[in-house]
Amino acid sequence: MKLKALKPRLYNAMFHTHTVSGIVISFALFVCFYAGAVALFMDELYQWENPAARIDHVDPATVDYDKVISIVDENAESFDKSLTFGITPPTEANPLVTLYGRDKTEEGKLTFFTAILNPNTYDVISIGDEPSTHMARTIYELHYFRQIPVVGLYLSGFVAFFFLFAVITGVLTHWKNIVNKFYAFTTKGKWKQIWTNGHISLGLITLPFQVIYAVTGALLGLSILLLAPSAILMYNGDTTEVVKAVRPDAGIKYDENAEAIDDGVAFNSIYNKVSAAYPENNVTYIYATNYGKEDGTIGVRVNDYKSIGGDGIFVYGYKDGQLKEAIEPETRPYAKGAYGVLIKLHYATYGGIFLKIIYFLLAMITCYIIISGIMIWRTARNKPSYTDKQRRFHHRVTKFYLAITLSMFPALALIFIANKLVPLAMEGRVPIVNSIFFMGWLILTILGLFWNDYRKLNRNYIILGSVFGLLIPIVNGVITGDWIWNSLASKQYYVFSVDFTWLIIGVSGLLINRYYLNRPSKVDKAEIVEREIIDAQVGKLAKEEPSPVLQNVIKSK
């Protein structure tokens, strides 16, 4: 089945636009998808990374949240309750209570701290500028380049925007034969054909997912830039009014000099009121602003984790407990619900763990599509029509991109190992673990630049990642005593799932290397000769013997 082809001029424009936009953002886009795929399970990873969280789940309705505030106030060096602070109730994935607080220094600079408590005993597990463990959070922040100061979030937004551009131009480029190529997918033939078939077939399968991620990623990453034109056109340049239209609670005015009162409404009372009104929704966050003062407020966020429109926000006055602002899950207007829908679509928080698994698999397929796009770009330029200098440049760019992207697999396993080897009580633990991850990733990338053969580069990274992956359940068992069989027997399913997943990944990687990557490639002899001649020109075979196929060609001449 062939669809109507584009006109030659339009086709050429779409083809070159797709190629340029794709190759420019390819490695950054790979990082976004790879880190984002793992970050989907940020909550599910918490018990594994923090042994203190391996306790029985506590019903969040039984927690005394006012007592939590009092205990943190006693233990924190400085806790300014007039500034916004919030509490995350315990969940099955994270059975601890976490309070996020702020204080203002004498210079007027805001400082942040995190306090983690055991909801059974109300013992303070940790309190300080950073939590004791930050592994999953680091991976999540890498998803939107949080490690790059100021511009990181915007950069991820632009990457998502150009990804949407690449998706649209890709569909238009392959429009004529998109159906035929979808059914003609095969792993036989020349490498260019293999990469192209996989690129088109898997791209078509994941097309809806990619459009969702590109649109939501661009809107979330560039939200501030998008709000500015709206403010100019609709609200005479007042960005506060734009934010208020999306989040009504953001428009509440507070007086720093408001009168302090002691008989305000309790956190527990607000929690119980919202829980009773919306029993099908979980309270995910309780926060307060100007707490303890006459104009203070207490806000509650709810989410049912089952539907796209199942989240809401309720803000009550601290003085009288009266509802001031609300975004109700069932009756909210479009403007108030738009931001919540974007969040749910992007983070897969509307269908449970199985939806997250589907998102994860689709993200991994997209990573393969990105790699195949790089290889299509490379093989399309592996021709005598290009000069030696051009081919050397194409080879170096491809090797650089592959080294950055493929080294993420062993680097990711490395941060899991570092999370266990660096003691939880060590001061400055989070920067140490993060340094091991990023320095390890850098070293692995540099190491890959010395492997000129793409097959060898891929194979070595898979071996390293698989070996590191197999070490993860072993290191966890040695450090915490929760061996994989113990965690299963004690019903610590989140801990077991992480160890078991890495065990499967490690074994699968070694089997793939043993039975697939180590066997001779089924590429025809003519392509082997062509590839080796070109690789020799870029220095690959400078110190190696030619293959038997190439030797026969040389002898025949």
* Residues 492, 537 within the same domain: no
Tell me if 37 is assigned to some domain: no
Tell me if 456 is assigned to some domain: yes
* pLDDT of res. 542: 41
* Residues 451, 514 within the same domain: yes
Tell me if 364 is assigned to some domain: no
Tell me if 452 is assigned to some domain: yes
In tens, the pLDDT along 313-371 reads 899 999 888 888 888 887 777 767 777 888 889 999 888 899 999 999 999 999 999 99
Q: Is the torsion defined by CA of 150, 46, 411, 420 positive or negative?
A: positive
* Residues 449, 531 within the same domain: no
Element (H, E) at 549: helix 548-556
* Residues 411, 470 within the same domain: yes
pLDDT confidence band for 550 (50 / 70 / 90): very low
* pLDDT of res. 68: 93
In tens, the pLDDT along 57-115 reads 889 999 999 999 999 988 887 788 888 899 999 999 999 999 999 877 667 677 888 89
Q: Residue 48 corresponds to which tokens in the numbers above?
A: 């594994």
Least confident of 29-43, 198-212, 297-311, 543-557: 543-557
Tell me if 217 is assigned to some domain: no
* Residues 543, 418 within the same domain: no
Domain count, the chain: 3
Question: Whole-angstrom Cα distance, residue 19 to residue 354?
Answer: 34
Domain holding 548, by residue range, is 525-556
* Residues 413, 484 within the same domain: yes
* Residues 454, 539 within the same domain: no
| Range 366-370, long-range pairs (CB < 8 A, 24+ positions) | 366/33, 366/206, 366/209, 366/210, 366/213, 367/30, 367/33, 367/34, 367/37, 367/405, 368/198, 368/202, 369/198, 369/199, 369/202, 369/203, 369/206, 370/26, 370/29, 370/30, 370/33, 370/405
Domain-ending residue, one of 132, 160, 188: 132
Question: Whole-angstrom Cα distance, residue 211 to residue 169?
Answer: 12
* Residues 111, 57 within the same domain: yes
Amino acid at 58: V
* Residues 544, 433 within the same domain: no
Q: Is the pLDDT of residue 427 over 70?
A: yes
Smallest CA-to-CA distance from 50 within 469, 504, 429 is with 429
pLDDT confidence band for 122 (50 / 70 / 90): very high
pLDDT confidence band for 463 (50 / 70 / 90): very high
In tens, the pLDDT along 494-549 reads 999 999 999 999 999 999 888 877 765 554 444 445 555 555 554 544 444 555 54
Tell me if 434 is assigned to some domain: yes
Question: Whole-angstrom Cα distance, residue 29 to residue 119?
Answer: 40
Give the Å distances, CA to CA, from 532 to 353, 371, 396.
47, 21, 16
In tens, the pLDDT along 284-323 reads 999 999 888 888 899 999 988 888 877 888 999 998 888 8
Domain-ending residue, one of 81, 98, 132: 132
